[in-house]
Amino acid sequence: VSLGEFDLIARYFDAPAPGAVLGIGDDCALWSPSPGQHLALSCDTLVEGRHFLPDVDPIALGHKALAVNLSDLAACGARPCCFLLAATLPRVDEPFLAGFSQGLRALAAAHRIDLVGGNTTAGPLAFTLTVMGEVPPGQALLRSAAQPGDDLWVSGTLGEARLALMALQGQVKLGTAQLRQARVALEQPQPQVALGLALRGVARAAIDLSDGLLADLGHILQRSGPTGRPLGARIACDALPLGTVLQSQPVAMQQACALAGGDDYQLCFTAAASAATQVAAAGERCGVRLTKIGCLLEPGAGVQVNDGHGRVLATPQQGFDHFRVAPA
């Protein structure tokens, strides 16, 4: 801990936290939760070279660092309340910190939540955020609540974040306008907080898509089935909602990005078939596109991905790795 830490905190991160009893500046933040609510807690780390490139726009990085955490609250149907930031910085880079703080604060303001505490230390560039949300007891959306026969839904569009990353890494060639559009998906994901709230009591299981649809769906299937016997699922590949830039790519690229791309930060959730109207209404209320992409099957049925001609493209025996693009 350097003596400069306190100046840094004051300059870039110490703003009033009206939602807190006590914000930044003491050993702990103090916060008064709403009576009778459960707290939803999550933390996520972004590391340079792993989750973002050295030349990242700091405003976009500040946005994304909070967005990926709010996405976890969204997946539980929790209302965001406040967050803490642990920043590890190799040096004092004021323009970078100013940008990071700006992006972070803009998204926090949009969700009316406060940065209530945290710490900075010297070290390799990384940011760990811990978010706190509230959800009424029994109303959280859990990975473990899916049932065979449920419809399988996703919000928004899939795969374009991975396409942008591949373009930035020179693995795919995109036009300037196309790259600019795809980068929005990669760098400015919008956590589906309002949708998560609207799906309380409507959806059964939910998860946010950070590692790619097949991998993340796998967690729902595993936790919703009996021990060691994950539920199965059938996905109609043609139904996957793709962004317009990804639509211009070859079908194999579309499928790889949408099924295993990662970094989508959309919600994947299941709901009883009888709840389809309510699901659609929740999407309309939130202004979020919702797409039914398949259904859940009995334990042992595996994961079947069908193309438009009814052919099976992948099964869990072929493994999620089959579609997995090399990690960043």
Ranges within 61-90 binding its own copies (CB under 8 A): 72-73, 75-76, 78, 82, 84, 86, 88
Residue 106 makes contact with its own copies by CB under 8 A? no
Q: Is 155 helix (H, G, I), strand (E, B) or coil?
A: strand
Residue 272 makes contact with its own copies by CB under 8 A? no
Residue 215 makes contact with its own copies by CB under 8 A? yes
Cα–Cα distance measured from residue 193 to residue 256, given in angstroms and rounded to the nearest whole number: 27
The CA–CA distances, whole Å, from 74 to 71, 81, 173, 187, 189 equal 5, 12, 33, 18, 13
Cα angle 40, 46, 51; round to 5: 125
For residue 288, the number of C-alpha atoms closer than 13 Å in the C-beta half-sphere is 24
Residue 170 makes contact with its own copies by CB under 8 A? no
Nearer residue to its own copies within complex by CB, 144 or 244? 144
Cα angle 95, 82, 44; round to 5: 70
Give 203's contacts (C-beta < 8 A, 6+ positions apart): 77, 141, 153, 269, 270, 271, 275, 279
Cα–Cα distance measured from residue 148 to residue 112, given in angstroms and rounded to the nearest whole number: 37
Q: What's the min distance (Å) between Cβ of 84 and its own copies? A: 5
Residue 224 makes contact with its own copies by CB under 8 A? no
Residue 227 makes contact with its own copies by CB under 8 A? no
Interface characters, 43-62, with its own copies (x: CB under 8 A): xxx-xxxxx-----------
Q: Which stretch binds its own copies (CB under 8 A): 131-139, 153-161, 175-183, 304-312?
A: 131-139
The CA–CA distances, whole Å, from 14 to 86, 102, 125 equal 13, 12, 20
Residue 258 makes contact with its own copies by CB under 8 A? no
Site size toward its own copies, by CB under 8 A: 71
Residue 159 makes contact with its own copies by CB under 8 A? no
Nearer residue to its own copies within complex by CB, 25 or 175? 25
Nearer residue to its own copies within complex by CB, 132 or 242? 132
List binders of its own copies among 132-151 (CB under 8 A).
Answer: 132-133, 135, 137, 140, 142-144
Question: Contact 58/99 with Cβ under 8 angstroms?
Answer: yes
Question: Contact 241/166 with Cβ under 8 angstroms?
Answer: no
Residue 207 makes contact with its own copies by CB under 8 A? yes
Q: What's the min distance (Å) between Cβ of 223 and its own copies? A: 7
